[in-house]
Amino acid sequence: MNKLEALAFNRICACFTLSSLAGSDTAAAVVALAELDDMIDDFYSEYKELVSPEEYEGAKKNPESFIALIDQAHRHYAKIESGGK
């Protein structure tokens, strides 16, 4: 799986996990928050060169901003793949 595919997969997983927060099941929400926390940590480890520590902390406080970071990284690698065009 290349970077663009991995980022697309991460986005799908993050969106699906975020949707679990909308329900009334408290246990599911707790599990979803823990999963998102792990996803954000893994993302930061993998894409540290694209994400500032402030953005990382912001995503930890507001998991919805995590999607924006994934999109930012995807645009970066899409630009590289297309030859900077």
**φ and ψ of 74, to 5 deg:** -60, -45
Rounded CA-CA distance 2/13 in Å is 16
Q: Is 83 left (phi over 0), alpha (psi -120 to 50) or beta?
A: left
Q: What angle do CA 21, 59, 23 make, to 5 degrees?
A: 5
Question: In the prediction, which pLDDT does 85 show?
Answer: 61
**Could you list the mean pLDDT of each consecutive 10-residue stretch along the chain, which spans 85 residues?**
94 94 87 96 96 96 94 95 77
The DSSP letter of residue 13 is H
> What residue ranges do the domains of the chain occupy?
3-81
Residue 75 Cα distances to 3, 37, 68, 85, angstroms: 11, 23, 10, 11
Question: In the prediction, which pLDDT does 60 show?
Answer: 94
